[in-house]
C-alpha cells in the first residue's frame, strides 16, 4: 500500500512537471520540443517552490504554513493550466503516447527495463551514512516539529542558528511537504519517490541530449541505455553513478545527475543556436533552480556556465553571450554572498532557542 502511494506521488509529480512546463511555456511565449517541456517544468516547479519556501524558512515560520501556501499555489496553477492550456496539455499527452508507439520495439523495452532495474536497485540498497541521517532526519524532523531548519535534522536537538549550508536550499522541505501530504515517513518518500525521480529525470535528460545530437529517437534511446549500463560499472564512492544508484535521494544526487546534465543539455542547445531565446531561458532556469535542488550547485554550476560561455565567446566573439551568461549566474552569485556571510559569522539566530 505504501509503495502504491509512492508510485501515485511520482505520477502526480510527473503530471505537475508537464503542467508547469506547458503553462510557463505559454506565459513566457517559449516554444519547446515535446521532450523539453517536462525538463523545463521540473526546473520551474522547484524554482517556484524555492521562491515560496525560502522566505518562510528565513522568517522561521511554521512548516504547515508552507504546506498550505504551496497547496493553494498548486491549485491555482493547475486551474490556470486547465483553463488556458487545455489544448496544449492534451496535445502533449497525445504526442507523448504517439512518440512511444512510434518507437516501440526491443530497444525501447530494453531501455525501459534497464531504467526500471536501476530504480529497483536504488530502492533496495541498504546505505546508512551520516549524510543519510541528516537529510532524511531533516525531512522527518520538519514534519514532526512543524518547523524548518530550527532543529538539527540528524540529532533532533534545537539549533542555535539557521544552518545556511542546508537552509538556503528548500529541496528537503519539498520532501517534507510530500510526507505531510501522504502521511508517509521521510525514509519512504526519499527512497522510493525522490530517488526514483532522480533516476527518471537523469534518463530523460540524457534522452534529450541524445535527441539534440542525433536526429533519430532510436539513437537517443540507445545512448540512454549505454549511459545506464556504464553507470552500473562506475562504482567509486564519488562518481555521479554512486549518487545515482545508491544515494539518488540526496540533493547531491540531483546535482550530479539532473542539474549538471541539464545545464550541459542547455549548453549543447546554445552551441547549436546561441540566438534562440528558449535556449538561454533554459540555461537561466537550470542555474536559477540549481540551488533549490542542491547546495552543491553553489559554485559548480556557475563555474561550468562561465567556462562553457567563455569557450563559446572565444569561438564566435559575440559580447551578448557574456552579458546573458552574467544574468544566468547571478542567482548563484547572490546565494554565494549569503553563504559567505554565514561562514564569516553573520548568522540568523533561531528564535525558539
The count of other CB atoms within 10 Å of the CB of residue 11 is 10
Per rule CB under 8 A, is residue 214 in the interface with another protein? yes
One of 307, 337, 341, 349 touching another protein (CB under 8 A): 307
Phi, psi of 347 (to 5 degrees): -130, 160
Residues paired with 158 in a beta bridge: 151
217-236 residues in contact with another protein (CB under 8 A) are 218-219, 222-224, 226-227, 229-236
Largest pairwise CA distance in the chain: 60
Task: Please report how close the Cβ of residue 315 comes to another protein at its closest, in angstroms.
Answer: 5
- For another protein, the closer of residues 82 and 334 by Cβ is 334
Say if residue 25 is exposed, middle or buried (CB neighbours under 10 Å; 0-12, 13-18, 19+): buried
Tell me how far, at minimum, the Cβ of 121 lies from another protein, in Å: 7
d(Cα 8, Cα 189) in Å, to the nearest integer? Answer: 11
Query: Which C-beta is closer to another protein: that of 26 or that of 324?
Result: 324
What is the three-state SS of 211-229?
HHHCCCHHHHHHHHHHHHH
Binder among 183, 215, 237, 345 for another protein (CB under 8 A): 237
* Range 260-289, binding another protein (CB under 8 A): 260-261, 264, 271
Helix and strand numbers (H, E) in the chain are 18, 0
Shortest distance (Å) from residue 86 CB to another protein: 36
Contact predicate 36/282, CB 8 Å:
yes
Pairwise CA distance, residues 20 & 26, whole Å: 10
176/56 Cα distance (integer angstroms)? 14
Based on the shown chain and the rule CB under 8 A, indicate whether residue 241 belongs to the binding site for another protein: yes
CA torsion, ordered 28, 290, 248, 192, to nearest 10 deg = -40
Nearer to another protein, 101 or 128 (CB): 128
List Cβ neighbours of 260 (8 Å cut-off, separation of 6 or more): 240, 297, 300, 301, 304
Nearer to another protein, 201 or 256 (CB): 256
Sites for another protein among residues 327-346 (CB under 8 A): 340
| Least distance CB 277 / another protein (angstroms) | 21
Alpha carbons 123 and 248: distance in angstroms, whole number: 9
Stretch that binds another protein, among 28-36, 61-69, 245-253, 282-290 (CB under 8 A): 245-253
> To which residue does cell 532495474 refer?
117
- Enumerate residues 153-212 that contact another protein by CB under 8 A: 154-157, 185-188, 191, 206, 209-210
Contact status: 48 vs another protein (CB under 8 A): no
Q: How far is the CB of 129 from another protein (least distance, A)?
A: 8
Sole window of 14-22, 62-70, 167-175, 292-300 interacting with another protein (rule: CB under 8 A): 292-300
- By CB under 8 A, the residues from 101 to 160 that bind another protein are 121, 123-126, 128-130, 132-134, 136-137, 140-141, 143-144, 154-157
Among positions 2, 95, 352, 353, the unique one binding another protein when judged by CB under 8 A: 2
In the bound state with another protein, the residue whose beta carbon lies nearer, of 24 and 141, is 141
Pick the closer one to another protein by CB: 20 or 164. 164
- What is the C-alpha separation between 146 and 99, in angstroms, rounded? 44
Q: Which of 304, 321, 328, 329 binds another protein (CB under 8 A)?
A: 304
Q: CA 254, CA 243: separation in Å to the nearest integer?
A: 8
Minimum CB–partner distance for residue 205 and another protein (Å)? 9
Contact between 240 and another protein (CB under 8 A)? yes
Nearer to another protein, 18 or 153 (CB): 153
- Quick count: other Cβ atoms within 10 Å of Cβ 245? 24
Q: How far does the chain reach from its first CA to its final CA, in angstroms?
A: 39
The interface region with another protein, picked from 13-21, 28-36, 46-54, 240-248 by CB under 8 A, is 240-248
Amino acid at each position: 500500500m505504501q509503495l502504491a502511494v509512492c508510485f501515485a506521488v511520482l505520477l502526480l509529480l510527473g503530471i505537475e512537471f508537464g503542467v508547469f512546463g506547458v503553462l510557463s511555456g505559454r506565459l513566457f511565449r517559449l516554444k519547446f520540443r515535446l521532450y523539453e517541456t517536462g525538463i523545463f517544468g521540473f526546473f520551474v516547479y522547484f524554482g517556484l517552490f524555492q521562491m515560496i519556501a525560502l522566505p518562510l524558512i528565513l522568517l522561521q515560520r511554521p512548516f504547515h504554513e508552507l504546506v498550505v501556501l504551496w497547496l493553494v499555489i498548486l491549485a491555482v496553477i493547475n486551474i490556470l493550466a486547465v483553463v488556458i492550456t487545455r489544448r496544449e496539455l492534451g496535445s502533449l499527452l497525445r504526442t507523448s503516447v504517439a512518440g512511444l508507439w512510434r518507437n516501440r520495439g526491443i530497444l525501447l523495452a530494453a531501455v525501459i527495463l534497464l531504467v526500471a532495474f536501476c530504480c529497483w536497485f536504488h530502492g533496495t540498497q541498504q546505505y546508512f551514512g551520516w549524510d543519510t541521517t541528516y537529510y532524511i532526519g531533516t525531512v522527518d524532523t520538519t514534519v514532526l516539529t512543524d518547523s524548518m531548519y530550527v532543529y538539527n535534522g540528524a540529532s533532533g536537538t534545537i539549533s542555535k542558528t539557521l544552518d545556511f549550508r542546508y537552509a538556503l536550499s528548500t529541496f528537503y522541505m519539498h520532501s517534507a511537504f510530500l510526507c505531510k501530504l501522504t502521511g508517509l515517513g521521510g525514509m519512504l518518500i526519499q527512497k522510493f519517490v525522490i530517488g526514483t525521480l532522480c533516476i527518471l529525470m537523469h534518463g530523460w535528460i540524457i534522452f534529450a541530449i541524445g535527441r539534440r545530437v542525433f536526429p533519430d529517437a532510436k539513437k537517443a534511446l540507445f545512448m540512454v541505455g549505454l549511459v545506464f549500463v556504464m553507470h552500473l560499472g562506475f562504482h567509486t564512492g564519488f562518481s555521479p553513478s554512486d549518487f545515482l544508484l545508491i544515494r539518488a535521494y540526496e540533493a547531491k544526487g540531483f546535482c550530479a545527475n539532473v542539474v549538471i546534465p541539464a545545464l550541459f543539455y542547455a549548453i549543447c542547445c546554445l552551441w547549436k543556436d546561441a540566438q534562440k531565446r528558449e535556449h538561454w531561458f533554459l540555461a537561466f532556469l537550470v542555474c536559477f533552480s540549481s540551488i533549490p535542488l542542491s547546495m552543491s550547485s553553489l559554485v559548480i554550476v556557475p563555474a561550468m556556465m562561465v567556462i562553457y560561455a567563455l569557450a563559446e565567446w572565444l569561438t564566435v566573439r559575440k559580447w551578448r553571450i557574456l552579458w546573458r551568461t552574467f544574468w544566468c549566474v547571478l542567482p548563484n552569485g547572490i546565494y554565494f554572498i549569503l553563504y559567505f556571510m554565514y561562514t564569516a559569522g553573520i548568522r540568523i539566530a533561531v528564535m525558539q532557542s
